[in-house]
Amino acid sequence: MNASATLRFSMLLVAASMATAAFPSTLTGVVHDSVGKPTANVFVTAQDGARKMAVTVFTDSTGRYRIDDLFPGQYDLRARKIGFNDGVSANVALGERDVAVDLKLQPDDAIHLSTPGAAWLNALPNEPMKATFVTSCTICHDQGSALTHIPRDAATWSGIIHKMRTQTDAYAVIVQMDAGKLASWLADKKFGAKPAPFDPFTKRANVATQARVTEYAVGDVTTWAHDVVIEPKTGTAWVGDYVKDELTSVNPRTGEQKVYPAPIHGTGMHSLAFDRDGYLWITLQLVAKIARFNTVSGEWRIFDGFSPGSLNHSFAVDSEGLVKTDASGRFYIGLWGGNRTAMFDPKSGEVKETQLLGPDSDKPYGIAVTSKGVIWYTKYSDNKMGFYDPATGQNKEWAMPRPDSGPHRMHIDNDDNLWIPLSGYGTLLRYNTRDGSQKEFALPDADSFAYDVRYDSKSNRVWITGNGGNAIYAMDPKSGKFTTFRMPSYLSYGRVMSIDYSTGDVWTALCSYPNKLSLRDNGVLVRIHHALDLVH
């Protein structure tokens, strides 16, 4: 290409960029139900296949929707509401002028994926075996999957439990239980025959119907996009692929993606967190290492020194979601394998592991550090919590208040309260590390499988991913009241949350494993726009 042609090409690119910025496009319309009545609280999604982005809003009380600030291009539109089949309009051309498209929901021809996983769990009686089932199976799979909507006999259930336990033997996520009793119980209760009624807009849920949600498709059907983190300086989203050894960045505005392959294979990229110097840290679970990634240069640095089979799990983070360090700049990592926690010095690369109480088979899961430097942890599979004080060497632990609680990824607030999601019961536990007092809060949706908790000091809210309820909840710790953000996609199994403080957006990655059980061809990142401004 000669200089003149290069100049013309550059000018075209600039003109195209200016046109895109100068002429944001808008889609509007009305959604009707299957008998022609305008319908409120319907998800309307505009999917931009070229950019791998989908933007969703709710219809208002008159059934109207408005999706603005869209790029010109081709869109597929979808209207979605529990109790109906989707209404769709494909290949809608959007240019510089606004376009109006009405949509009609279709009659529901069967019980299908519009019913959230929590509704199927709601159909089970609240007996002890229910919590055993939830903590054993929903740690990987949302129970709203069509594959679970099949009543099975005890022998079939027993075979499934054996298969799952064998497949995850190295990671050992399934709690210890009597598989025969669980199989017989599921068969006797006819799990999968039908769900219980489910109203996503109950008063207690306090759904933020003004919310705008953008979903970003990443990778392919084999991708396990586990955790997402937002870069504080740029607002860029970063996600690690657990099975493909790839780190991906996503531009929130344009959807542009860049892939950075890890320098080693079989890593099992798990938790991601930025430090205050702008470095991205990643636990490489399957190779007993952690990585530091420079987002500017693209340079990787790998740190080892962890025991074989340590299954490095999570970093302790502060109330802004950054790696939490002590006075010497060291930070802390929970090790799922071998019943240990680790202290890591990023300057020297030194690793100091601490053996915890209990057998080597115990599995530390969540990790948090108090203002006095005491390390707290939960053991998901072992139904325990405890602490280790590096200053004194004191280590204590005890059983959770109820059996099969499933204490997942917890966080700590600025008053040293632990906020622990109890997946087995769809509740949130507040535990005061200073005086030992505790209180349990029921999430707005019964049997919502709570996975991650994030305390946010700027909004003074506790954020919880509510799998099975297809939701993210924000709770006011003073009043105990919730704001619920509903996810527009079925089987929205949210993992860790991250907050962009420059915009107030809250993010998570949808990661039910494998993707095919969620009827997805890729991993998904979810961005709730200005969520911090919408909490009540």
Q: How confident is the model at residue 185, as a pLDDT? A: 96
Q: How confident is the model at residue 118, as a pLDDT? A: 94
Structure tokens at 521: 């061809």
Which residue's entry shows tokens 């079939």? 156
Handedness of CA 124, 126, 132, 135 (dihedral sign): positive
> Pairing mode, if any, of strands 25-32 and 99-100?
parallel
Q: 116 and 198 in contact (C-beta within 8 Å)?
A: yes
Radius of gyration of the chain (CA): 23
pLDDT tens for residues 374-400?
999 999 989 999 999 999 999 999 999
pLDDT tens for residues 293-327?
999 999 999 999 999 999 999 999 999 999 999 99
- Across residues 475-485, what is the average pLDDT? 96
**One-letter identity of residue 61:** S
Q: What are phi and psi of 366, to 5 degrees?
A: -80, 155
Q: Is pLDDT of 482 > 80?
A: yes
pLDDT tens for residues 63-83?
999 999 999 999 999 999 998
Mean pLDDT of the chain: 91
Structure tokens at 366: 């969540």
Q: How confident is the model at residue 12, as a pLDDT? A: 35
Whole-structure pTM value: 0.93
Domains contained in the chain, CATH given: 25-107 (2.60.40.1120), 118-188 (1.10.760), 213-534 (2.130.10.10)
Distance CA 395, CA 389 (A): 7
Q: 283 and 336 in contact (C-beta within 8 Å)?
A: no
Distance CA 307, CA 374 (A): 22
Distance CA 177, CA 129 (A): 10
